[in-house]
């Protein structure tokens, strides 16, 4: 006989056994009922079967108006209704609580039952489901925890009108006992279902976030030079071609390498980065290709190098122009045959790896000078991508600056909302020899120095504060800084008032004549802030 048939027979038995308890206040024969519940739980270990019996008992024999079973999603700190009676589907969907919220949230948080003799008068009552709008005014509500090894897994709650408070106490004790009985089944359900689904979803989310982070469209900037880079990334990502990324220091070559790998068919495979400039010449070969145990002093065990670690995926060789001629020869063999020997070894190691290299040096010139192998250069130069310097990227400077301000504001618990116009002018006029990396450092400093919700020109380093932008040869003297602040305040006031000198003067606490004198000193014209308006002030 299957579990469903057993369940139906048991329910028929219960109906017959308690048919004389018309008022729903008969509790003297609950022992056989509890025994049957324990049997079903033991035989099936199925939460749905167990809850079907429990909610049926609550509704038919205990005469409850509503019965609710919630489960606690511990990692997300959410409590949700898993099964119920007396609630519509819409009401059940609304029954989601945070830890400590409402009666249900308090029970999960404390692990202690709560009895509300008049539910609508209880201070923790929240009516998240909105079911109480049609509830009887004198309904009592109680909620007991489902616990296993002092860990709260969920709750069982019930609502009913009680004329006999002793009966209310008995029902609380009864459901507490039932909650204890089903706790192992609930725990098993959470492990097999909710936790499993969450781990799968979280794993999928993290992989998706990682892939999204390095999508070409997520590299900040929409300038024409960067659009050309995005197109090249899109074309080469789906292939296994060797890529050589060229560009000045700080332009974001590693970001491009990441974009290629994480948009390739091997996105799930390893992505190993090696900074060739940071490898001492005597250790470079070992770090890249590994070594055998005892191959040199200190080689206490076999070590897999970066190429072996990247097997099946991608290796990114940053600053490849810094490798010695000896290591270049071994790298050439890997490019040709995809095989190498570990240091101190004689057995070839075969790998399947994609190679992406990057350099800020002119490899063609190095070939002419004899410091870089010509054959290696041509092996690497299969698909070159040149990342433009920041000074050639136009308005990307502003987009990047805004991004860094947002990032560093959050890190430093500040609420900086914008960059002032004079500061933007300075950022756009600067030549950025250190490229994106320099801009990032400049904006981090500016966020730290800002005393309000704006990054001002005087928050930028002196190297950016040129006479062209501030109207004075800016130095480190007090007078120079006062003039820079004055210039910025005038520009901001005119911008805020759309170039109306009277309103700007009032905002600055100056007369119109005094404002005009200072504007003349800095070469500022109100017409620059008028937009399409032509009226005179």
Beta bridge pairs of residue 78: 73, 98
Tokens read off for 425: 């002018």
Q: pLDDT digit string (tens) for 215-227?
A: 466 588 888 888 8
Question: Can you point out the beta strands (E) in 335-481?
Answer: 339-340, 349-350, 354-359, 383-386, 418-419, 454-455
- Residues 465, 500: contact at Cβ < 8 Å? no
**pLDDT for position 480:** 67
CATH number attached to the domain at 465-537: 1.10.10
CATH number attached to the domain at 216-388: 3.40.50.300
- Would the CATH topology of 3-196 be identical to that of 216-388? no
Q: pLDDT digit string (tens) for 103-141?
A: 999 999 999 999 988 877 788 787 777 766 555 557 889
What phi-psi label fits residue 294: left (phi over 0), alpha (psi between -120 and 50 degrees) or beta? left
Q: Which CATH superfamily is domain 3-196 in?
A: GAF domain (3.30.450.40)
What phi-psi label fits residue 46: left (phi over 0), alpha (psi between -120 and 50 degrees) or beta? beta
CATH number attached to the domain at 390-464: 1.10.8.60
Question: 0.85 exceeded by the pTM?
Answer: no
For 192-218, give the secondary structure using H, E and C: HHHHHHHHHHHHHHHHHHHHHHCCHHH
Distance CA 321, CA 318 (A): 9
303 three-state secondary structure: strand
Distance CA 111, CA 176 (A): 12
Q: Where are the domains of the chain?
A: 3-196, 216-388, 390-464, 465-537
- Residues 116, 140: contact at Cβ < 8 Å? yes
Distance CA 303, CA 292 (A): 6
Q: pLDDT higher for 203 or 531?
A: 203
Long-range contacts, stretch 441-450, CB < 8 angstroms, 24+ apart: 443/401, 443/404, 443/405, 443/408, 444/404, 444/408, 446/405, 447/404, 447/405, 447/408, 447/409, 447/412, 447/414, 447/416, 448/408, 448/412, 450/414, 450/416
Q: pLDDT digit string (tens) for 423-468?
A: 888 898 888 999 999 999 999 999 999 988 889 988 998 878 654 4
pLDDT band at 167 (very low <50, low <70, confident <90, very high): confident
Which of 230-246 are b and which e, b meaning 16 or more Cβ less than 10 Å from the residue's Cβ? Answer: bebbeebbeeeebbbbb
């Amino acid at each position: 006989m299957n579990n469903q048939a057993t369940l139906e027979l048991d329910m028929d038995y219960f109906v017959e056994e308690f048919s004389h308890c018309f008022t729903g206040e008969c509790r003297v024969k609950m022992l056989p009922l509890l025994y049957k519940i324990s049997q079903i739980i033991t035989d099936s270990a199925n939460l749905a079967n167990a809850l079907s019996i429990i909610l049926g008992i609550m509704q038919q024999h205990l005469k409850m108006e509503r019965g609710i079973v919630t489960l606690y999603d511990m990692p997300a700190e959410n409590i949700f209704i898993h099964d119920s009676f007396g609630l519509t589907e819409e009401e059940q969907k609304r029954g989601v609580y945070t830890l400590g919220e409402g009666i249900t949230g308090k029970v999960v948080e404390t692990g202690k039952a709560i009895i509300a003799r008049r539910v609508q008068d209880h201070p923790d009552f929240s009516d998240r489901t909105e079911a109480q709008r049609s509830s009887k005014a004198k309904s009592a509500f109680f909620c007991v925890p489902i616990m296993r090894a002092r860990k709260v897994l969920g709750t069982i709650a019930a609502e009913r009108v009680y004329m006999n408070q002793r009966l209310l106490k008995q029902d609380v004790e009864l459901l507490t006992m039932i909650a204890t009985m089903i706790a192992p089944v609930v725990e098993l359900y959470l492990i097999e279902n909710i936790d499993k689904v969450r781990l799968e979803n979280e794993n999928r989310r993290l992989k998706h976030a990682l892939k999204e982070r390095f999508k070409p469209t997520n590299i900040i900037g929409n300038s024409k030079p960067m659009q050309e880079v995005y197109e090249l990334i899109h074309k080469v990502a789906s292939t296994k071609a060797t890529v050589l990324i060229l560009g000045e220091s700080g332009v974001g070559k590693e970001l491009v390498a990441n974009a290629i790998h994480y948009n390739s068919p091997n996105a799930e495979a390893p992505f190993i980065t090696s900074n060739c400039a940071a490898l001492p010449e005597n250790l470079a070969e070992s770090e890249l290709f590994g070594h055998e145990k005892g191959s040199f002093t200190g080689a206490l065990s076999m070590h897999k190098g970066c190429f072996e670690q990247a097997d099946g995926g991608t290796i990114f060789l940053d600053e490849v122009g810094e490798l010695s001629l000896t290591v270049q020869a071994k790298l050439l063999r890997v490019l040709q045959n995809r095989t190498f020997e570990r240091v101190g070894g004689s057995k070839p190691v075969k790998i399947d790896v994609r190679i992406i290299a990057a350099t800020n040096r002119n490899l063609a010139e190095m070939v002419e000078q004899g410091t870089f192998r010509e054959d290696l250069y041509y092996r690497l130069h299969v698909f070159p991508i040149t990342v433009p310097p920041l000074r050639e990227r136009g308005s990307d400077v502003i987009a990047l600056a805004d991004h860094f301000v947002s990032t560093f504001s959050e890190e430093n618990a500040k609420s900086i909302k914008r960059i002032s116009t004079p500061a933007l002018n300075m950022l756009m006029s600067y030549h950025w020899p250190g490229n994106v990396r320099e801009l990032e450092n400049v904006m981090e400093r500016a966020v730290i120095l800002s005393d309000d919700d704006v990054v001002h020109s005087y928050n930028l380093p002196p190297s950016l504060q040129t006479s062209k932008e501030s109207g004075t040869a800016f130095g480190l003297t007090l007078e120079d800084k006062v003039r820079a602040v004055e210039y910025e305040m005038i520009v901001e006031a005119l911008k805020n008032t759309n170039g109306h000198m009277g309103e700007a003067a009032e905002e600055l606490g100056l007369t119109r004549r005094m404002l005009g004198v200072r504007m003349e000193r800095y070469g500022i014209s109100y017409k620059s802030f008028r937009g399409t308006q032509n009226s005179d002030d």
